[in-house]
Structure 1
Amino acid sequence: MASIDRRSFLRVATTAVAAGAVTPDLAVDSVDSDKGLMTTPVQATPEVTKILARYIVSARYEDLSATVRKEGLRTLLNWIGVAVGGSRHETVSIAAEALAPFSGPPQASILGRRERFDVMNAAFINGVSSHIFDYDDTHLKTIIHPAGPVVAAILALAEFRPIDGRNFLNALVVGVETECRIGNAVYPDHYDRGWHITGTAGVFGAAASAGKLLGLSEQRMIWALGLAASQPVGFRESFGSMNKSFNPGRAASNGLFAAFLASKNFTSSDQMIEAKRGWANTISTKQDYKEIVDGLGSRYESALNTYKPFACGIVMHPAIDAAIQLREQYHLDATRIESIHLRVNPLVLELTGKKAPTTGLEGKFSIYHAVAVAIVEGAAGERQFSDRAVQDPTIVHLRSCVVPVVDTTVKPSQVEMTMLLKDGRKLEKSIQHAKGSLESPMTDSDIEAKFIDLAKEILPPNQIRALIDLCWNLEKLPDASAIAKATVPV
């Protein structure tokens, strides 16, 4: 490699930075200060924050394919269902009671309830409500729950300023695209370190979607993304407690906060995602910026969204699917089961290894409870992850028979189940892709049935049907806030 003196290199590097090829930090760090030699190649890190902001600002509803638009509607419908369904949970009531004395004007609805809060607090509470059952959508590549931060933010915003359905759907897609692409860039290292990626990446989705609807310029959108980067929220330690649902709720309100500040010229660094001391380099050892910038506007992560048939951590779904299939096939009686052996991916015990859950929220992160309740009750909806279910004596006994074994060759989408019965029979079931995955997706009818089951104790049947129809017909609505208002019990 030819030598180059430091002054000449810095002049070249400065030119490259000005042209947008590399960041200043990366350019200077490529020089050996003692020898005056370039010891490592200059890394042409793209100006990710700027490129992403440009996409967000320019993205148009008219450019969305029918497939992407349809998945956006499915995302909305599923999210409204789980938010209404979760609205009466103790967690949501506590949040509403705690924040009511400090709420501003009654600007936005709390889905499934009669209270109204200011936009910021409504976004937070609705984000909490939508995640408390752990029944919301999942981007399987990153385990991000995309809709919570995004829809909670922009639905509250839609009640503050008029937004038509097409613009609302476009903002929803843009927000999901933003958070999932950013998540792709740092997953799995970021997640393995203990961050709750729905909160840490979700704040970008909320800021992008809200900023889109506020009409931010490219520069203001850059600042909004920068302010979002400064507000990562959520650790995996919170799983099994109310705190887990706090994370997408806070991501929603933090994203709004960032967009509102940026709209008034509250500045940030122009490189907050990719800079040496920015978001990605600070919270992860993996930074694949191509995941963020490549194929913007042509490759859609939002088209890969999935919807849960079971109200618990996604890594348990293959085991639940296997348990229910064996139960139905052999008409199993829990008292006749000797043991249930599972070969599972390491994430299963890492995330859901609680052997003796005492609350419904803890049960959502117990592979032992999930398998036991699926066999006893033949389902794994929110009622199967209630305090009642985790304390049921039959279920408590059966979960002691569940024996999961980690196998690194088993993918997160897979499980191998072997059930030994007291009469000597051995039953086996292998799952490659559980119900609800991209390979075995929830149908529109499945999502509607899930919605109805979640909402039936909160809203009357005619109101539920009207609300479902509003979601499917979002693109025709002159005012998207009609959906939020239609969730309020009459």
Structure 2
Amino acid sequence: MNDPKRRNFLKASAAGALAAAAPALPGVASAATDDKPAANVPAKAPGKVTQTLARYIVNARYEDLPANVRKEGTRTLLNWVGVAVGGSRHETVDRAVAALAPFSGPQQAGLFGRKERFDIMNAAFLNGVASHIFDFDDTHLKTIIHPAGPVASAILALSEYRPVSGKEFLNALVLGVETECRIGNAVYPNHYDVGWHITGTAGVFGSAAAAGKLLGLSEQQMVWALGLAASQPVGLRESFGSMNKSFNPGRAASNGLFAAILASKDYTSSDGMIEAKRGWANTISTKQDYREITEGLGQRYEAALNTYKPFACGIVIHPAIDAAIQLRNAEHLKADQIERIDLKVHPLVLELTGKKTPQQGLEGKFSVYHSVAVAIIEGAAGEKQYSDRAVRDPQVIALRDRVNAVVDPAIRPEQVDMTITLKDGRKLHKFIEHAVGSLEVPMTDAQLEAKFRDLAQGVLPDAQVRRLMDACWQVESLNSAAQIVKAGTLQA
């Protein structure tokens, strides 16, 4: 669940989280140093933006990645594989598989959590769809892009088609995430505000860059790949709440892969498709800050700022859920002890998640009332807590009706002030400054594994889940990245 009005929260959450430095790669243009342009005022491109970015991608080496960036890339992979497995049996994937199977080409690549195999284009699409269905994937807070879906889906499919080492794969994954997030920075929030789903529109650049890197594109071919990606923006926010939403990162994955493969055979594009007067940025946004794309390449990493959701809903509810679970666990609370739960929240919380009586699981993701109630009762807010079963549970409904939320201008979007009044008259209080899963309070590796296991339960056998997690953690030592897909699919 995304919304442009969250930008103040997201920017604040990302502020100060800078990645470790690494030497800039040769041939990367230096950025301008004057003040950034005001929003809604088109910026003059500082040189050849598309070419500068392409040169960086082509020359960037795994050895140049700082240790913290490699680590975050590995965590990004683990989290993405977990949500892809978890979403693999959803009816959305079932319907897409049924629709595309008659038209699929050779069985080149697998689908996480399933037996079917598809050609790499359709496999990239389907795995991208599966990974986004639960809205539980990674989030680049500055742009609210979900970075891994378009990139990992594309290059894991490609890794089954041609040999790719684990180190090559991780380097490409980081470069893809870096590319899409930098391009997203250049146009966010204006591009998002008018209705584009930025995970799809910027994600296609990430998948093209990552696939192009693994295909060994030349600088000119990479320029063309980025240009062909620019010609395929996909995703409108009107799709949110439908199967179409997860279509967007899936299509961004296959479109980017498509662009890179065409470019590998010298299929041309304009050399300035990102920054040209009638190029991507000027066409789909009223803000263009090209220095976000070219500044500090090889020195600072947006990929190091990725975050992972502990709760399967939009991040504006995360502080309230975190507070509820902390009070529940500390006080051993039961629903029948509670008289009322009062929340002081930022206006966005009620604007985005003010549904008081959700009837379906998906609606529960848009209800702060349900989220707090189910968190108190079940001590979690994973996908199981946003099922039809959970939102219709009489006990959850009864507690939900005792949750009250009011707007407080002093509360920032990343905060919540919660008071629980018990029937014996006691009052319990919790103020959350930054919720778990934020940059300030990141999920631990153990928490990511627990999330993974919960998502994979009932999809893969427990022993296979462990092997799959190990393959993700050990990606840098793998001879073939295709081992990850093999570990995460079922035998036909």
Bin for the TM-score computed over the shorter chain: 0.7 to 0.9
Q: How many residue pairs align between the two structures? A: 454
Instruction: Summarize the alignment of residues 206-285 of structure 1 with structure 2, pairs less than 5 Å apart.
Output: 206-285=207-286
Instruction: Summarize the alignment of residues 349-360 of structure 1 with structure 2, pairs less than 5 Å apart.
Output: 349-360=350-361
1:438 equivalent to 2:464? Answer no
Distance in 1 between residues matched to 2:355 and 2:227, nearest whole Å: 37
Distance in 2 between residues matched to 1:236 and 1:53, nearest whole Å: 29
Which residue of the partner structure matches residue 161 of structure 1?
A: 162
Q: What is the letter of the counterpart of residue 140 of structure 1?
A: L
Distance in 2 between residues matched to 1:181 and 1:254, nearest whole Å: 19
Distance in 2 between residues matched to 1:49 and 1:457, nearest whole Å: 45
Instruction: Summarize the alignment of residues 81-480 of structure 1 with structure 2, pairs less than 5 Å apart.
Output: 81-480=82-481
Decide whether the 8 Å contact of 2:148 with 2:177 is kept in 1: yes
**Range with bigger deviation, 60-69 or 257-266:** 257-266
Structure 2: give runs of 5+ residues left out of the alignment.
Answer: 1-28, 32-40
Decide whether the 8 Å contact of 1:315 with 1:412 is kept in 2: yes
Q: What is the letter of the counterpart of residue 484 of structure 1?
A: V
* Seq. identity, %: 74
Distance in 2 between residues matched to 1:241 and 1:447, nearest whole Å: 27
User: 1:43 deviation in Å?
Assistant: 4.1
Decide whether the 8 Å contact of 1:134 with 1:364 is kept in 2: no
Deviations 1:42-70 (A, max 9, x none): 94533211111111111111111111111
Decide whether the 8 Å contact of 2:343 with 2:405 is kept in 1: yes
Decide whether the 8 Å contact of 2:43 with 2:290 is kept in 1: no
Give secondary structure in 2 for the equivalent of 1:418. Answer: strand
Deviations 1:363-390 (A, max 9, x none): 2222222112111211111110111111
1:404–1:65 Cα change, 3 Å: same
Distance in 2 between residues matched to 1:192 and 1:238, nearest whole Å: 14
1:165–1:44 Cα change, 3 Å: closer
Q: What is the letter of the counterpart of residue 281 of structure 2?
A: A
Q: What is the letter of the counterpart of residue 303 of structure 1?
A: A
1:338–1:126 Cα change, 3 Å: same
Structure 1: give runs of 5+ residues left out of the alignment.
Answer: 1-19, 23-39
Deviations 1:203-260 (A, max 9, x none): 1111110111111111221121122122222223333322221111111111111112
Give secondary structure in 1 for the equivalent of 2:272. Answer: coil
Decide whether the 8 Å contact of 2:136 with 2:311 is kept in 1: yes
Q: CA RMSD in A?
A: 2.2
Decide whether the 8 Å contact of 2:43 with 2:289 is kept in 1: no
Q: What is the letter of the counterpart of residue 220 of structure 1?
A: Q
Distance in 2 between residues matched to 1:320 and 1:371, nearest whole Å: 5
User: 1:432 deviation in Å?
Assistant: 1.0
1:42–1:441 Cα change, 3 Å: closer
**Range with bigger deviation, 256-265 or 299-308:** 256-265
Deviations 1:335-367 (A, max 9, x none): 443443333334333433333333222222222
For normalisation by structure 2, the TM-score amounts to 0.87
Q: What is the letter of the counterpart of residue 478 of structure 2?
A: L
Distance in 2 between residues matched to 1:55 and 1:219, nearest whole Å: 12
Decide whether the 8 Å contact of 1:435 with 1:442 is kept in 2: yes
Give secondary structure in 2 for the equivalent of 1:486. Answer: helix
Q: What is the letter of the counterpart of residue 190 of structure 2?
A: D
1:186–1:403 Cα change, 3 Å: farther
Decide whether the 8 Å contact of 1:355 with 1:366 is kept in 2: yes
**Range with bigger deviation, 184-193 or 135-144:** 184-193
1:461–1:333 Cα change, 3 Å: closer
Which residue of the partner structure matches residue 17 of structure 1?
A: none
**Range with bigger deviation, 428-437 or 410-419:** 410-419
Distance in 2 between residues matched to 1:306 and 1:103, nearest whole Å: 34
Which residue of the partner structure matches residue 482 of structure 1?
A: 483
1:96–1:247 Cα change, 3 Å: same
Q: What is the letter of the counterpart of residue 397 of structure 1?
A: A
1:21–1:169 Cα change, 3 Å: closer
User: 1:173 deviation in Å?
Assistant: 0.4
**Range with bigger deviation, 459-468 or 400-409:** 400-409
Decide whether the 8 Å contact of 2:45 with 2:290 is kept in 1: no
Decide whether the 8 Å contact of 1:240 with 1:365 is kept in 2: no
Distance in 2 between residues matched to 1:283 and 1:338, nearest whole Å: 50
**Range with bigger deviation, 66-75 or 183-192:** 183-192
Bigger radius of gyration = 1
**Range with bigger deviation, 409-418 or 208-217:** 409-418
For normalisation by structure 1, the TM-score amounts to 0.88
Distance in 2 between residues matched to 1:123 and 1:343, nearest whole Å: 42
Which residue of the partner structure matches residue 4 of structure 1?
A: none
Distance in 2 between residues matched to 1:123 and 1:409, nearest whole Å: 44
User: 1:417 deviation in Å?
Assistant: 2.0
User: 1:183 deviation in Å?
Assistant: 1.3
Distance in 2 between residues matched to 1:430 and 1:333, nearest whole Å: 20
Q: What is the letter of the counterpart of residue 72 of structure 1?
A: G
User: 1:418 deviation in Å?
Assistant: 2.8
Decide whether the 8 Å contact of 1:112 with 1:489 is kept in 2: yes
Decide whether the 8 Å contact of 2:166 with 2:478 is kept in 1: yes
Decide whether the 8 Å contact of 1:458 with 1:489 is kept in 2: no
User: 1:453 deviation in Å?
Assistant: 1.9
Decide whether the 8 Å contact of 1:271 with 1:278 is kept in 2: yes
Q: What is the letter of the counterpart of residue 102 of structure 1?
A: F
Give secondary structure in 2 for the equivalent of 1:416. Answer: strand
Give secondary structure in 1 for the equivalent of 2:406. Answer: strand
